[in-house]
Amino acid sequence: MKTRFTPLVKLKKTAMDKSESLMQKANADLNSARAALEKSYETLDEITSPQQGNMKDFLASRELINSARAFVKHNQEWVIYAQNQVNQAKEKLKLDIIEHEKFKYLELQEIEKELKKLKIQEMKDLDEVALMTHNKKEKN
């Protein structure tokens, strides 16, 4: 049964579905960021410093370690950013679910009201038919 809230319910359902897909995408991005951070930590752990050699080797090793640390820092920032995106998507999804449920409830109330009106009308019609049948029997 269609009510005046039916289009709004469909619209809110679409918005909720969109928020759900955004939430899934944000979670996937967060998982990618965490995997990249883990990989950068592993890369940093694999770097060994030379125990002997010339200054050029020590400087190259230090530069490699600095580069790996910068990469770790970048991935940490990416994880923080991705976590914020997940939190924002979660809040939006929560609000969209509430809005959808609210309009769904209003639609249900409207349907119940219409069904009640139909039931009352049907009772009136049955009473009228019964009265007409009763009057017909009295005339005969």
H or E segment at 131?
Answer: helix 55-139
**pLDDT number for residue 72:** 96
In a domain, 126, yes or no: no
Total of domains in the chain? 1
Residues 8-65 pLDDT 10s? 999 999 999 999 999 999 999 999 999 999 999 999 898 888 888 888 888 999 999 9
Any domain includes 43: yes
Chain mean position to CA 17? 7
Is residue 140 pLDDT above 80, yes or no?
A: no
In-domain check, residue 124: no
Higher pLDDT, 120 or 132: 120
Has residue 113 been placed in a domain?
no
- Residues of the domain holding 93: 5-108
pLDDT number for residue 2: 87
The model's pTM = 0.75
Domain assignment present for 51: yes
Phi-psi group of 78: left, alpha or beta (phi > 0 → left; psi -120 to 50 → alpha; rest → beta): alpha
Burial profile 81-99: b = 16 or more Cβ within 10 angstroms, e = fewer: ebeebbeebeebbeebeeb
- Is position 129 within any domain? no
38: part of which helix (H) or strand (E)? helix 6-46
In a domain, 114, yes or no: no
